[in-house]
Structure 1
Amino acid sequence: MRDVYLISGLGADERIFQRLQLERCRVHDVHWIEPLKRESMSAYARRLSEQILAPEPVLIGMSFGGMIAVEISQFRSLKGLILVSSVRYPEELPPYFQLLHVLPIHRWLPYSWLQALGIVLGKWLFGPETPSTHELLKQIIRETDETFFRWAWQQIISWQKPALIRPSLHIHGSRDRMLPICFVKHVDHVIRGGTHLMMLDRADEINPIMQDAIDRCFTSP
């Protein structure tokens, strides 16, 4: 049996992969843990990777989970690394993210305000295509831990370029407003009209692409 580990986006959990269907695979969810005070992304990734017990699995990361997956790939032997709605290194982040260095609202705004802002802007920014996906998005925003949220955003804008192992597959949506595709230097598969939440709304298109990539990861020498 082929082991596949899933790392969801910031604040999300295994629900973001609920429509993922893979054959001949044993799928494991990696659960977020509480970050330590002043912990770096790479140090956090090492602690998180303690949940990855199988030797040489395929690692799938979505959004912030993809960035963590890239960090894990620096010290863990993997059969494959698959990124969805994510980036491989800091240079692919939207330049305007750096405004958070100047105006760090993720650090000093009351968290209830940040949550309200996320709910107001969420439909435009994340692009849910169905009412059920929109409701799940709002639920995720309400449930996201404050400490984790503030820590994660600080890590995103402070991320140092890793010595990257090239992903086996990078899938991105052409209408992703959170991480716009125009800043991403290399994408293997573009989902036309796909948004940041396409892992939910376009799973029928993504599933066969992922299945093919995983099959190749485990059959190549």
Structure 2
Amino acid sequence: MSKIPVYFMPGLAANPLIFERIKLDETLFDVYYLEWEIPEKEESLEDYAKRLVLKIKEENPVLIGVSFGGILVQEMAKHISVRKLIIISSIKTNLELPKRLQFIKKTKLYKLVPISLLLGFVKLVQLISGEKTKHKMQLYEKFLSVRDERYLKWAFEKVLLWNCPVANEKVIHIHGSRDEVFPVKNIKNCIVVAGGTHVMIYTKYRWFNANLANIILGKNSNGEIPNSNFY
């Protein structure tokens, strides 16, 4: 039996190191990691997604995206057949954006924020997610390696302006109960990981290692939600 190809897409400004604790059975899965590329001038999210799709060489893969990466894999899935579409710590529609981000979108404040502050905000998001030790700060410095100004400005704008009022029914959404960036109170139809923050792909790796393979294989097709209290 051929292995199932699984592609991971990291979150905004992050690199694939955020997945270093995630382990899938090598006899069942071939794992690949996608990375952020610098967008072309005025490149649309749709065109960017089409460009990233070219990195996928296997047919009918599983796409897994975290945060903004979750938005991107949903756009990629419009141009390629996928076995499973999984998003983590992300949103399925623009209606799931928290009010503060909707306010920034409506007032266009994002156009006035200097790039240096955007990068600082990315770091702050990680640090307020319950991981404030010096060791964790060093880890986030390692994870947040995409610091190109064009990319940062483009990425923040695409998150805020993403136009998707209706969720893709194929999306499997995994979300933390303590996510500060996209609060779970705004999220519908998701698997809730107890105590999970916006960076739970790293901090709750035990939950993912216990459940992710079964989710991919569809072993919860009877409607049962994996044990969300495992962490």
Q: TM-score, normalised by structure 2?
A: 0.84
After superposition, the Cα gap between the structure-2 partners of 1:158 and 1:65, relative to the gap in structure 1 and judged at 3 Å, is same
Deviates more, 1:200-209 or 1:171-180: 200-209
> C-alpha distance in 2, partners of 1:72/1:12?
18
Q: Does 1:37 pair with 2:41?
A: yes
Q: One-letter code of the match for 1:175? A: R
In the alignment, structure 1 residue 110 sits paired with structure 2 residue 117: no
- Distance (whole Å) between structure 1 residues aligned to residue 197 and residue 97 of structure 2: 16
Aligned residues: 216
Q: Return closer, same or farther for 1:128/1:71 CA change in 2, 3 Å cut-off.
A: same
Structure 1: stretches of 5+ with no match in the other structure: none
* TM-score relative to the length of structure 1: 0.88
Residue correspondence of structure 1 range 1-221 to structure 2 within 5 A: 1-23=3-25, 24-101=28-105, 104-120=108-124, 122-124=126-128, 126-128=129-131, 131-141=134-144, 143-161=146-164, 164-167=167-170, 169-187=172-190, 189-216=191-218
Distance 2:23 2:144 in 1: 25
The answer on whether the counterparts of 1:70 and 1:164 sit within 8 Å (CA) in structure 2 is no
What SS does structure 2 have at the residue aligned with 1:26? strand
| Partner in structure 1 of residue 229 of structure 2 | none
Specify the SS of the correspondent of 2:54.
helix
Aligned partners of 1:83 and 1:171 also within 8 Å? yes
SS of the residue 2:78 aligns to: coil
State which drifts further: 93-102 or 113-122: 113-122
* CA–CA distance in structure 2, aligned partners of residues 121 and 30 of structure 1: 22
Question: CA contact under 8 A between 2:6 and 2:32: conserved in structure 1?
Answer: yes
TM-fit CA distance, 1:39: 1.5
C-alpha distance after superposition, 1:163-190 (max 9, x if no partner): 6532452111000001111111110x21
Decide whether the 8 Å contact of 1:74 with 1:165 is kept in 2.
no
Percent sequence identity over matched residues?
Answer: 31
State the 1:142 CA deviation.
Answer: 6.3
> Does the CA-based 8 Å contact 1:133-1:201 persist in structure 2?
no
Deviation of 1:134 after TM superposition, in Å, equals: 3.2
Q: For the structure 1 residues 89 and 179, does the alpha-carbon distance in structure 2 shift closer, same or farther, using more than 3 Å as the test?
A: same
Matched to 1:165, the amino acid is N
Report the structure, 1 or 2, having the larger helix content: 1
Q: Return closer, same or farther for 1:216/1:44 CA change in 2, 3 Å cut-off.
A: same
Structure 1 residue identity aligned to 2:35: H
Deviation, structure 1 residue 105: 5.0
**Unaligned 5+ residue runs, structure 2?**
222-231
Deviation at 1:136, TM superposition (A): 2.0
